[in-house]
Amino acid sequence: EVQLLESGGGLVQPGGSLRLSCAASGFTLSTYAMSWVRQAPGKGLEWVSASSGSGGSTYYVDSVKGRFTISRDNSKNTLYLQMNSLRAEDTAIYYCARSRFLEWPDNCFDPWGQGTLVTVSS
Amino acid sequence: QSALTQPASVSGSPGQSITVSCTGTSSDVGGHNFVSWYQQHPGKAPKVILYDVSNRPSGVSNRFSGSKSGNTASLTISGLQVEDEAEYYCSSYSSSSSLGVFGTGTQVTVL
């Protein structure tokens, strides 16, 4: 069964850092582009970042550019999101999701993980 | 990277058909067929129900259909059922920014 399992969320102070992980099972991570999507409490979905299958190409929404880094360890079948200089507005559930293709772009994200909650507060 | 525009809410009675619109620009919705729709029940992760404007993934009911005209995409749910009550989001790729973008979301209520 194809599954994604996020971890690493938690409470962090403004200006702090967190690293999220997304463990993939049932498929080979290196053959798919992957994305991170977030959802602030009671709000809509926001696409955050994408990585090509090799990890050689990465993309970010402007609000996280320079602060967040998407990466992957294909040998561990795991995707990461390193989040630095966190702000209150980064508070959200963070989902990882698989694309159909090796390369970005794509619009079909399937499956999604269950999400991990990041709370930025003092 | 502005969100695509959707109505905040749409409602219908069981068995009826409803349509949810998603308006973007020529750089996203109107520029290609990378348009998808996601269904999200409370406390759950989103689930893709349509991709490439009108294609349904395996296992998704054929009561869900999609179309596009110009810069506006549409999701139609026919034979509305109680379990269709959820939040629906459209999504597109933006060729001007090379980024993904979601719609503002539409709460579908079954009366």
Given CA atoms B66, B79, B47, A48 in this order, what sign does their dihedral have? positive
**Residue B38: its pLDDT value, please?**
98
**Residue B95: its pLDDT value, please?**
87
| Weakly modelled stretches of chain A, pLDDT under 50 | none
3 state DSSP class of A63: helix
pLDDT in tens, B92-111: 999 888 888 999 999 999 99
Of B48, B103, B105, Cβ closest to residue A109: B48
Q: Residue B58 is encoded by which pair of tokens?
A: 């395996």
**Residue A86: its pLDDT value, please?**
98
pLDDT in tens, B3-30: 999 999 999 999 999 999 999 999 999 9
pLDDT in tens, A18-40: 999 999 999 999 999 999 999 99
**Residue B11: its pLDDT value, please?**
97
Which of B90, B93, B94, B95 should we substitute to test contact with A (largest number of A Cβ atoms within 10 Å)? Answer: B93
Q: Residue B106 is encoded by which pair of tokens?
A: 């539409």
Name the interface residues of B facing A (CB cutoff 8 Å).
1, 3, 34-36, 38, 40, 45-48, 51-52, 57, 89, 91-93, 98-105
**Residue B99: its pLDDT value, please?**
86
